[in-house]
Chains A and B, each alone.
Chain A
């Protein structure tokens, strides 16, 4: 009986440990899930146009009313000290370089991924960025939205855009998402970098993505372009050494064959 009780106790302990492990692993897994900053490519899918956000004037607007033509969506937050402002600045730069007219040929929508940001902050950012555009632009062509966390998440999840909060900052990627007038995701454009390390969007890439979105064409864009720092690693120099040795061997063997091999004598029966 005592033995059975002991086994029973041990089983209970084991069960407790098992449950604790499940919770720990589960929470770790959940943490990993929620800590993704990847961009999943959802081309061909639709973003929900029935969602409501606040615009920079504090009015409630439905996405449907804004996305009535090809639209460039930039998920950012306006007080970001990292990549958001450089990317939005690059947008203001590229607007002036392409042949298309914002408001006529396409719209731009920046959506704050920070639930704590207000319309006033959005308005300040809008004023700052539109001032940088080198061509005349209808203010309604570039909208700056804010919203609550659920609405933001519903939209970003649909777009495949993942982010997470770490202290005071939000970790996320910088990418432009091009949708057609029905909200269909047509392409993702990941900006490159210029030689100074600043964001750089090629006007032709931007313009082509808008044209594709205007026709509802799905393209791969340049998302996933290799952002690795390229350059031969020193550890790989052995490869060049191996090639050199192989080359010497090849030349040696060839000379040996040339010198020593016996050329075939012509046989009449060919």
Chain B
């Protein structure tokens, strides 16, 4: 991809977005800014703060499960822990993190635009998001206690619990609203603000992933919003919608919940796949293999992923025909994911591989997500799922997909783009050490979950039979290793932002997409002149020629 000109004038607009002082100064200059880059940073601060809370709760849960009987908390506290852990990690961290942080920051730059389509709406999304998140935290300390239903809010728990359910549901509703607005903003930006010459198939794959994700966000998020509102109405006015004692239908709730929440898994994972699609060509210096297949597979995941929701409900009671259909669709949705994995590995083949931290995390993503995906296929089989659905196997599977996938995708993105965002480089050796600790800790923590589940260990339980203890002890030790790795990784990144080695090099990693052709850190306006796009986003021709010569 080549820009016609990226030269910046000296008219006062060529200052870094970090140093720029506009209408407001100091903190107000950030929290009232409509600059997509500053909003991205605001999201990053809040998301990572919540991530720390979620990790802490998870850490405490693992500590509780160190012994078969209660270790540090009782059953009620444990219920609240895993509920709030789930709500924070799903609704506040992994759903928004990559689109809201890196999508906001880099999507307009990658498209050759100066901002998103609706900057004010973008800021409103952040405020809605922060309000929703704050409400979740408030529910922890308000009388009544945090929600204890699990993050799925299943009926009848959510209509009967005495905890701060309405507060929590309202919070999730606001988070959903924020998500819809972000999706709408991105869709309009992608359709209307691409640089001249940038057709859809000259867009970077990260933009493609955000495009697919945004459609899911816009179409399915209203369903969860309406569903949660109905639960609120049911609690307040005792209208029989879902509660069977009032004539409602609990399975209806499950259908509506999963109509959103399964596609939400793809809202979670597809942007991370976009990150990986950016990193792999850069660190192997190869044109990505199967660009169109990867792009279409994002849409394929979005479409098929929206049709498989009921595979979460094989044990809830459905007709055999419905179970068969949803099982079949579940197998089908694996195909586009597998296409991506195949294309990434094919891109790496004979590439000039640089094992820098972003690529390490990207490779970990492929490994961990493959385990997560394959364990998902296992559960797609009806008879196996009936046995596994209420066991730790599910817990292991979701963590391999969500944490191993999106979590490691996030870490990859942080190590890839943070130097660009702040103009400071982190310590690569420390980053690699942190990676290995995190990777080992992750597997020591979560792989025993799969074994435990296979042995029949029920999930959501604060205590367990003694025969499971050995694996729980291994998992808890894994949580200590993982947390140590995370602390080291984030400290390294934080220190780099504050006093890391300054870099003004535009193309830090040797990328070909537009963000590597603007200043480091980017200027307020991104581009002085909007570039004309004449080539695709991954043109590593020199390397390709060399390969062809070698083949000859």
Chain A residues within CB distance 8 Å of chain B: 99, 204, 207-208, 211-212, 215, 217, 219-220, 226, 228-233, 236, 239-240, 243, 246-247, 250-251, 254, 257-259, 261, 263-264, 266-270
Cα-based distance from A257 to B529 in the complex (angstroms): 26
- A204 with B250: CB separation less than 8 A: no
Q: Are B465 and A211 in contact (CB under 8 A)?
A: yes
Say yes or no: A204 contacts B465, CB within 8 Å.
yes
In the assembled complex, the Cα of A267 lies from the Cα of B524 at a distance in Å of 10
- New A-B pairs, 12, CB < 8 Å, besides A230-B250, A231-B317, A233-B249: A207-B465, A211-B465, A215-B69, A226-B156, A240-B255, A254-B184, A257-B188, A264-B115, A266-B114, A266-B115, A267-B34, A270-B38
Segment 61-107 of B: residues with Cβ below 8 Å from A: 68-70, 75
Please give, as numbers and ranges, the residues of chain B lying within 8 Å of A254 by CB-CB distance.
184, 187, 218-219
Q: Name A239's closest neighbour in chain B (CB-CB).
A: B252
Q: Which residues of A contact B193 (CB under 8 A)?
A: 263
Which residue of B118, B187, B218 contacts A264 across the interface (Cβ within 8 Å)? B118
Give complex CA distance A270, B28 in Å.
Answer: 11
Q: Residue among A230, A231, A246, A251 with the most chain B CB within 10 A?
A: A230
Select one of A208, A250, A267 contacting B218, CB under 8 A: A250
In the bound complex, do residue B69 and residue A263 qualify as a contact, i.e. CB atoms below 8 Å apart? no
Cβ of A221 to closest chain B Cβ, rounded Å:
11
**Complex CA distance for A268 and B458, rounded to whole angstroms:** 56
Known: A246-B222, A250-B222, A254-B187. A266 touches B467 (CB 8 A): no
- Residue of A with least CB distance to B115: A266
Chain A residue at smallest Cβ distance from B117: A263
B480 CB-CB contact with A under 8 Å: no
Complex Cα–Cα for A246 and B224 (A): 13
Q: Does B143 make an interface contact (CB < 8 A)?
A: no
Scan residues 9-33 of chain B and give those whose CB is less than 8 A from a CB of chain A. 13, 20, 22-23, 33
Question: Taking the complex as formed, is B385 at the interface, i.e. its CB lies under 8 A from any CB of chain A?
Answer: no
B33 touching A231 by the CB < 8 A rule?
A: no
Cα distance, A226 to B155, chains bound together (Å): 10
Q: Is the CB of B464 within 8 A of A270?
A: no
Considering only residues 456-477 of chain B, those with a C-beta below 8 Å from chain A are: 456, 458, 463-467
Contacts of B317 in A (CB 8 A): 229-231
Check A236–B184 contact: CB distance below 8 A: no
Closest to B319 in A: A231
Residues of chain B contacted by A233 (CB below 8 angstroms): 249, 252
Q: Are B75 and A230 in contact (CB under 8 A)?
A: no
Instruction: Give chain B residues whose Cβ lies under 8 Å from the Cβ of A270.
Output: 20, 22-23, 33-35, 38, 119, 524
In the complex, the chain A residue whose C-beta lies closest to that of B38 is A270
CA distance A267 to B458 in the complex (A): 56
The 3 closest A-B pairs by CB, nearest first: A230-B317, A263-B117, A266-B114
Residues of B180-237 at the interface with A, using a CB-CB cut-off of 8 Å, are 184, 187-189, 191-193, 218-219, 222-223, 226
Asked if B354 is at the interface (CB within 8 A of a chain A CB), the reply is no
Q: How far is the CA of A266 from the CA of B108 in the complex (A)?
A: 11
A268: chain B residues within 8 A (beta carbon): 13, 22, 524-525
Q: Does B346 contact A (CB under 8 A)?
A: no
- Determine which of A231, A258, A264 lies in contact with B120 in the assembled complex, contact meaning CB atoms within 8 Å: A264
22 contacts between A and B (CB under 8 A): A204-B456, A204-B465, A211-B465, A226-B244, A226-B250, A229-B317, A230-B317, A232-B252, A236-B252, A243-B223, A243-B259, A246-B222, A246-B226, A254-B184, A261-B117, A261-B118, A261-B188, A263-B117, A266-B119, A268-B22, A268-B525, A270-B33
Q: Which residues of B contact A99 (CB under 8 A)?
A: 465, 467
Over the window 31-62 of chain B, the binary record of Cβ atoms lying under 8 Å from chain A Cβ atoms (1 yes, 0 no) is 00111001000000000000000000000000
For residue B110, give the distance in angstroms from its CB to the closest CB of chain A. 16
User: Is B318's CB under 8 angstroms from A231's CB?
Assistant: yes
Whether B464 and A208, one on each chain, are in contact in the complex, defined by CB atoms closer than 8 angstroms, is yes
Q: Is B374 an interface residue (CB 8 A)?
A: no
Do residues B251 and A230 form an inter-chain contact, with CB atoms below 8 A? Answer: yes
Chain A residues near B252 (CB-CB < 8 A): 232-233, 236, 239
In the assembly, what is the distance between CA of A268 and CA of B13, in Å?
7
Contact, CB under 8 Å: B20 / A247 = no
Minimum CB–CB distance from B4 to chain A (whole Å) comes to 18
**Residue of A211, A229, A254 with most chain B CB atoms under a 10 A cut-off:** A254
Interface string of B227-268 (1 = CB under 8 A from A): 000000000000000001000011110011001000000000
Task: Please state if A269 and B465 are interface contacts (CB–CB under 8 Å).
Answer: no
Assess the B256–A269 pair: CB atoms within 8 A: no
Query: Which residues of the other chain, A, contact B22 by a CB distance below 8 angstroms?
Result: 268-270
B521 to chain A, nearest CB (A): 15
Q: Give the residues in chain B near A261, CB-CB below 8 Å.
A: 117-118, 188, 192
Judged by a CB distance under 8 angstroms, whether B316 is at the interface is yes
CB-CB < 8 A to A266: which residues of B?
A: 114-115, 119, 525
B120, closest chain A residue (CB): A264
Chain A nearest CB from B415 CB (Å) reads 27
Encode contact with A along B106-131: 1 for CB under 8 Å, 0 otherwise: 00000000110111100000000000
By beta carbon, the residue of chain A nearest B68 is A211
- Nearest neighbor of B316 in chain A, beta-carbon distance: A230
> Contact mask B431-462 → A, CB, 8 Å, 1/0?
00000000000000000000000001010000
Q: What is the CB-to-nearest-CB distance from A200 to chain B, in angstroms, rounded to a whole number?
A: 13
Q: Nearest Cβ in chain B — how far from A164, in angstroms?
A: 22
